[in-house]
Amino acid sequence: MEFDIKKYKDTKKSNTGKHFFITTYGCQMNEEDSEKLSGMLKRIGYTKTESIEDASIVLFNTCCVRENAENKVFGNLGMMKKYKRKNPDLIIGICGCMMQQEGMADKVLKTFPYVDIIFGTHNSYKFPEYLNRVKTEGVQVKEILNKETEIIEGIPIDRENSTKAFVTIMYGCNNFCTYCIVPYVRGRERSRKSEEIIKEIKELVSKGYKEITLLGQNVNSYGKGLEETIDFAKLLRLINEIDGLERVRFMTSHPKDLNEDVISAIKECDKLCEQIHLPVQSGSNRILKEMNRHYDRERYMYLINKIKEEIPNATITTDIIVGFPGETEEDFNDTLSLVKEVGYNAAYTFIYSRRNHTPADRMENQVPDDVKHERFNKLVQAVNEGVIRSNKEYEGKIVEILVEGPSKNDETKLMGRTRNGKLVNFAGDKSLIGQLINLKIVRAQPFSLVGELL
């Protein structure tokens, strides 16, 4: 179904000069959702601001994968009371994964009655309608759909970056890992038609974008349920044929679905970056079974070795959870040994966080917090040792980077990434932003590289 912004065009004049502020929590898919919310607001006359004080609308796009993210949302909603008291016309909205949890929307309204709009992940495209109702009828709007809708194409999007962009290829997840709330808040897997994906990427290239990252909770499941005969490897090969596109990345891959055809596509397609994010979560077969991951350590290591054999210069990154219910010291040591065996280039490490309505939340033998933190610190140390060793290997090498913008740590310098995802900081003119250039790596740092222009 195609999105229609035209029915809200009569509100544009009244919104001119007004500003909106969006705070985003969570993953890249949430970031893209916020870009769409921003795109819709700009199309009906609003201007984005980085200051809550200047905003007529404040939106919180939430995440519920971990408890810490929820606590931040509650804290920020509490702070909004003073802004609402100062400006009664301020419109406060909250959306995203957190709102899809059973009873959460009612909890928010009871605790923070000054919130004006609440909606979930399945109906964010209706935000202009909700906003219009609040403004014209003076009502609170709460609409949470319990079932995913058909995919809506053509939603305006306000990209955060002018060099690289996210492109969602599928929504939802069917895996039901026992610790994960995503299938409950994002719904079942739905793939976009390949023609819509290709069309979006071609439009981005025509605007000067050099790199796109394909998004999905499990990109390797792409194509299931579509009328066309296509899978993820075939989609990658189609995208690789787009003229003017320089780089393609993707995330996230599920080890149970990653196959040799996808690995071959990365090897054979010149625009596919040699970087694979392959979440392992645990190195223990017993824990992997309890997590309902549908692969074991041996299958995972087969994939790792196949990647290293076929794509020797590939970087491999992962996600790891520490302290899953029932995790013993032996289980944890299995994870440590796997980390050392793989030699990850980076890892997103997490302390297990209980999530309501997930099977793991009801499991006995929850690991004490002090044990979780002790294991977490050991894991981070093991990961970092591997990352530092990997970075040292780049000293003296010539690498190609896509210049993304000013360095986050030093705005007098620029930053970019190699094809395989290594972050490089260097001194250079801002006219280089958006260009592919070669640098010599002069120094390896723990989590980045320092380069110089040739």
DSSP 59-106: EEEE--SSHHHHHHHHHHHHHHHHHHHH-TT-EEEEEEGGGGSTTHHH
**How far apart (Å, rounded) are the C-alpha atoms in residues 343 and 386?**
5
Binding residues: 27, 63, 97, 173, 177, 180
d(C-alpha 442, C-alpha 447), whole Å: 14
- First and final C-alpha spacing in the chain: 50
Question: How far is Cα 94 from Cα 117, in angstroms, rounded to an integer?
Answer: 6
Whose tokens are 């609308």? That residue is: 57
> What is the C-alpha separation between 77 and 91, in angstroms, rounded?
12
Asked if 32 and 212 touch (Cβ cutoff 8 Å), the reply is: no
Burial 287-296 (b: 16+ CB within 10 A, else e): bbebbebebe
In terms of DSSP H, where are the helices of 257-296? 260-268, 285-290
> For helices 260-268 and 232-240, what crossing angle results, to 10°?
10
User: Which is it for the CA torsion 373, 375, 378, 384, positive or negative?
Assistant: negative
Contacts of 243 (CB under 8 A, 6+ apart): 205
SS (H, E, C) 182-201: HHHHHCCCEECCHHHHHHHH
Q: Which residues are annotated as part of the binding site for [4Fe-4S] cluster? A: 27, 63, 97, 173, 177, 180
Secondary structure element (H or E) that encloses residue 22, with its range: strand 19-24
Query: Hey, is 5 helix, strand or coil?
Result: coil
